[in-house]
């Protein structure tokens, strides 16, 4: 007797080596919040800490759907292509670990396509290339680490437009929460089911020593609250940048550039330890606005970061490299010119604190004079952790330092020595300034010693004393 296609599928699913056995094993060990919810929803948003089991949950959801719906088309979108390949497909909790090998037809690493024996096709996409989602249609989608997507709004829109096959096309989102505009919008959407959880919910499957380390090092910190307890944190008190300010600065296209620079904040990293090197590409548009074009920050050896700066310089047809000389002095120039002998390099010296140098650049954002071409999650996290009294985030704000050097070179005209004194003296004589430092101000404002505002204050006070 010849079996119908439905009977063949059922027999394969229920075989001892088949998907049903694997699914039963998952259901027996999964926590209730890891099981695909019932009901009529469009998006299942999982906001959870590191180690909660987000990857396994996402993989189990789309794997079961693909195995029980022959010929299904499923999109997997990650921050980068390599993230999707290494984590969502080949990772310890990825699709290849949860789908029985006998049910896998082919896995093409170069194309990012996983095809099952029943015709279901999983396709990888990167948030760096949202245009690749224009056209393909899908029954289901898995959006991994949405908070770290490079071009979140555009990528999500293109994914949503193509999620239109079958009776109930759906997306599962697995991410460590960040207070981005897109994540907040998904939380508020009526057709979203939100699941929240902390790292410690999965304590039974994590090393006790690792959990102890997490508690000792990160308990009570902002980083711990976000990465372990999955809180969506509001802006840091006194932050020079806010999430809303950065979201307002985001754009999807940029005009022609008058100038482009690659800024570098070197470090003592040997490629494995130490801080990252901050590497930012920014330009001054023909419209007079500043544009952040790429964040190439990395942890590399001196030869490695020198070569990367050279590649970015050529890629963006840049005019100059701006590098901080405090770490290594002329060695910085030597590293860069060893990678490209004719590379034009300007060395800059940090004579004031990071937060003081950042204030004029933050003012450009407040004045809406700077745009981000897409999203730069790591850089933007550092920006939002820089407060008026210093950096409140973990480690060193390497990418932010490079951003400050880039936009300072492009957009901030450094005052001639004595110019601030002369300007304040002229205002005071004209009756337009008071010792408060602002025209007509009667209150005392204290500025960081050495800043332009501080210099103006001192000038006004000296003039007042003479009068």
CB 89 within 8 A of CB 51: no
Question: Can you tell me the mean pLDDT for 76-91?
Answer: 96
Q: Give the pLDDT score at 177.
A: 86
pLDDT tens, position by position, 407-440: 999 998 654 444 444 444 544 444 444 444 444 3
Question: Can you tell me the mean pLDDT for 328-356?
Answer: 80
Q: How far apart are CA 231 and CA 229, in angstroms?
A: 6
**Which DSSP string corresponds to 384-415?**
HTEETTEE-SSS--HHHHHHHHHHHHHH--PP
Question: Can you tell me the mean pLDDT for 337-361?
Answer: 83
Q: At residue 235, does pLDDT exceed 70? A: no
Instruction: Output the CA torsion 103→106→107→113 (10° steps).
Output: -100
For 243-411, which CATH class? alpha beta
Beta-carbon count within 10 A of 219 CB: 11
pLDDT tens, position by position, 268-309: 666 566 678 999 999 999 999 999 999 999 989 888 999 999
Q: How far apart are CA 31 and CA 34, in angstroms?
A: 5
Q: Give the pLDDT score at 441.
A: 40
Q: Residues 6 or more apart from 140 whose CB is under 8 A from it? A: 62, 65, 66, 72, 74, 75, 163, 169, 170, 171, 172
Query: What is the percentage of the chain residues whose pLDDT exceeds 90?
Result: 51
Q: Give the pLDDT score at 40.
A: 92
Question: Can you tell me the mean pLDDT for 171-182?
Answer: 90
Residue scoring higher pLDDT (341 or 118): 118
Q: How far apart are CA 160 and CA 77, in angstroms?
A: 12
Say which residue the tokens 């840091």 belong to.
236
Q: At residue 467, does pLDDT exceed 60? A: no
Q: Give the pLDDT score at 416.
A: 44
Q: At residue 2, does pLDDT exceed 70? A: no
Q: Give the pLDDT score at 443.
A: 36
Rounded to whole angstroms, what are the CA distances from 13 to 6, 20, 59, 218?
11, 5, 17, 44
pLDDT tens, position by position, 99-123: 999 999 999 999 999 999 999 999 9
Q: How far apart are CA 311 and CA 14, in angstroms?
A: 53
Q: How far apart are CA 219 and CA 431, in angstroms?
A: 54
Q: Give the pLDDT score at 163.
A: 97
160 confidence band (pLDDT: 50, 70, 90): very high
Q: How far apart are CA 409 and CA 297, in angstroms?
A: 18
Structure tokens that stand for 124 in this block: 């990888």
Task: Tell me the pTM.
Answer: 0.63
Q: At residue 20, does pLDDT exceed 80? A: yes
Rounded to whole angstroms, what are the CA distances from 389 to 60, 201, 237, 328, 354?
46, 35, 10, 27, 10
Beta-carbon count within 10 A of 364 CB: 18
Fold of 5-227: Rossmann fold (3.40.50)
CB 320 within 8 A of CB 261: yes
Reported residue count of the chain is 467
* CA-based nearest residue to 60, from 24, 108, 114, 13: 24
Rounded to whole angstroms, what are the CA distances from 293 to 222, 251, 396, 411?
28, 10, 22, 15
Q: How far apart are CA 75 and CA 162, in angstroms?
A: 9
* CA-based nearest residue to 177, from 217, 209, 225: 225
The vertex-368 CA angle with 367 and 372, nearest 5°, equals: 140
Among 63-67, 178-182, 236-240, name the one with the lowest average pLDDT.
236-240
6 confidence band (pLDDT: 50, 70, 90): low
Extents of the domains making up the chain? 5-227, 243-411, 419-466
Question: Can you tell me the mean pLDDT for 220-237?
Answer: 73
Q: Residues 6 or more apart from 368 whose CB is under 8 A from it? A: 248, 249
pLDDT tens, position by position, 26-61: 999 999 999 999 999 999 999 999 899 999 999 999
Q: Residues 6 or more apart from 375 whose CB is under 8 A from it? A: 149, 150, 151, 152, 180, 250
Q: How far apart are CA 279 and CA 284, in angstroms?
A: 17
Query: What is the percentage of the chain residues whose pLDDT exceeds 70?
Result: 80
Round the average pLDDT of the chain to a whole number and report it: 84
**What letter would DSSP give residue 34?**
G
Q: How far apart are CA 335 and CA 321, in angstroms?
A: 12
Q: How far apart are CA 75 and CA 124, in angstroms?
A: 6
Residue 227 burial (10 A CB sphere; 0-12, 13-18, 19+): buried
Q: At residue 386, does pLDDT exceed 60? A: yes
Beta-carbon count within 10 A of 361 CB: 24
């Amino acid at each position: 007797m010849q079996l119908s296609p439905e009977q063949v599928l059922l027999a394969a699913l229920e075989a001892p080596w088949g998907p049903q056995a694997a699914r039963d094993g998952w259901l027996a060990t999964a926590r209730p919040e890891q099981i695909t919810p019932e009901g009529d929803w469009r998006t299942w948003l999982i906001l959870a800490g590191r180690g909660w089991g987000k990857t396994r949950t996402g993989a189990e959801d789309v794997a079961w759907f693909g195995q029980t719906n022959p010929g299904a088309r499923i999109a997997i979108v990650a921050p980068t292509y390599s993230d999707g390949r290494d984590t969502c497909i080949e990772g310890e909790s990825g699709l290849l670990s949860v789908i029985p090998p006998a049910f896998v037809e082919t896995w093409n690493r170069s194309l990012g396509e996983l095809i099952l024996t029943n015709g279901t096709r999983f396709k990888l996409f990167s948030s760096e290339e949202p245009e690749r989602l224009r056209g393909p249609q899908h029954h289901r989608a898995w959006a991994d680490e949405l908070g770290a997507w490079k071009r979140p709004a555009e990528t999500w829109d293109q994914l949503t437009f193509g999620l239109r096959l079958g009776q109930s096309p759906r997306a599962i989102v697995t991410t460590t929460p960040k207070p981005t505009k897109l994540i907040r919008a998904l939380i508020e959407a009526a057709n979203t089911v939100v699941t929240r959880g902390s790292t410690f919910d999965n304590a039974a499957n994590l090393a006790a020593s690792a959990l102890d380390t997490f508690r000792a090092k990160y308990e009570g910190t902002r980083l711990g609250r976000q990465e372990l307890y999955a809180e969506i944190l509001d802006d840091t008190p006194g932050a020079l940048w806010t999430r809303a300010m950065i979201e307002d600065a985001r754009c999807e296209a940029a005009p022609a550039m008058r100038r482009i620079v690659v800024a570098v904040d070197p470090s003592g990293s040997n490629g494995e330890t130490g801080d990252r090197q901050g590497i930012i590409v920014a330009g001054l548009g023909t419209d007079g606005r500043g544009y952040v074009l790429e964040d190439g920050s990395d942890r590399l050896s001196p030869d490695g970061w020198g070569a990367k700066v050279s590649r970015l310089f050529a890629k963006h047809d840049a005019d100059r490299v701006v590098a901080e000389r405090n770490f290594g002095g002329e060695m910085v120039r030597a590293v860069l010119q060893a990678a490209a002998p004719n590379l034009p390099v300007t060395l800059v010296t940090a004579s004031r604190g990071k937060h003081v140098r950042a204030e004029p650049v933050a003012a450009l954002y407040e004045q809406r004079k700077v745009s981000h071409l897409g999203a730069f999650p790591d850089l933007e996290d550092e920006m939002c952790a820089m407060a008026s009294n210093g950096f409140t985030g973990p480690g060193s704000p390497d990418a932010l330092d490079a951003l400050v050097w880039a936009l300072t070179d492009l957009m901030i005209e450094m005052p001639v020595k004595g110019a601030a004194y002369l300007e304040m003296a002229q205002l005071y004589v004209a009756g337009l300034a008071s010792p408060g430092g602002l025209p007509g101000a009667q209150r005392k404002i204290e500025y960081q010693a050495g800043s332009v505002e501080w210099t103006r204050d001192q000038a006004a006070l000296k003039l007042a004393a003479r009068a």
